[in-house]
Chains A and B, each alone.
Chain A
């Protein structure tokens, strides 16, 4: 089954404790992206990757890192999480990035930073 998976689905952590949220897709997609969703603010793009070893900042990259060592994986890293990073996070992928490319989203990771 074609899908985007994320782990963990739920995470409660404390300020400053490094964490990684994994994202994997099995569709051989080139484009992958991370979003965060907060009440009243909709979906905001954090980072995206055009292909292996090619990543770039989205609209809200501060406090986050990403890597793309393999085509299927795109982990989101929070080196020193803070309470304002408490949010619902979604990973997405698409075949390429273009006008007609549909994004497929993962189930989401709900992160709470105390």
Chain B
């Protein structure tokens, strides 16, 4: 199971682009990278998933370099409602998932 490392917290202002990087040095060949978003007192929800290069959807973009040892979640022009905890998941281990502590993003007005 690939261990992931994320910053504990980040601050940003409304309208800025936010990039959250996740390190996963021992990612396996067939591992995908998945990001979840969790608002206070709610369950996490899926944001985006990718294997390599760049993936974009209506909410975010995910950048994965060629060596796949890290990934960056990019949130364009954040608003106050993007204040949440963001989790990076890489692969799974014997049917178990490891979420870690995530990155707490605080968006200020």
B30, A99: Cβ atoms closer than 8 Å: yes
Instruction: Give chain A residues whose Cβ lies under 8 Å from the Cβ of B30.
Output: 99
Within B19-47, the residues touching A (CB, 8 Å) are: 30-32, 34, 36, 41-46
Indicate if A7 sits at the interface (CB-CB under 8 A). Answer: no
| Total inter-chain residue pairs, C-beta < 8 Å | 61
B31, A59: Cβ atoms closer than 8 Å: no
B43, A92: Cβ atoms closer than 8 Å: yes
* Dominant SS among interface residues on chain B: loop
* Dominant SS among interface residues on chain A: strand
A100, B49: Cβ atoms closer than 8 Å: yes
Cross-chain contact of A90 among B43, B46, B102 (Cβ < 8 A): B43
A99, B44: Cβ atoms closer than 8 Å: no
A108, B97: Cβ atoms closer than 8 Å: no
A40, B34: Cβ atoms closer than 8 Å: no
Instruction: Give CA–CA (A56, B34) in the complex, Å.
Output: 23
Interface string of B52-73 (1 = CB under 8 A from A): 0000000000000000000000
Residues of B within 8 A of A (CB-CB), count: 23
Known interface pairs A41-B101, A99-B31; A105-B43 also in contact (CB < 8 Å): yes
Instruction: Give chain A residues whose Cβ lies under 8 Å from the Cβ of B31.
Output: 99
Instruction: Give chain A residues whose Cβ lies under 8 Å from the Cβ of B96.
Output: 45, 48, 58-59
22 contacts between A and B (CB under 8 A): A35-B99, A42-B99, A42-B100, A42-B101, A42-B102, A45-B96, A45-B98, A45-B99, A48-B95, A56-B95, A59-B98, A90-B44, A97-B92, A99-B30, A99-B31, A99-B32, A100-B32, A102-B34, A105-B42, A105-B45, A107-B43, A108-B43
Which chain A residues have a beta carbon within 8 Å of chain B's beta carbons?
Answer: 4, 31, 33, 35, 40-45, 48, 50, 56, 58-59, 88, 90, 92, 97-100, 102-108, 110
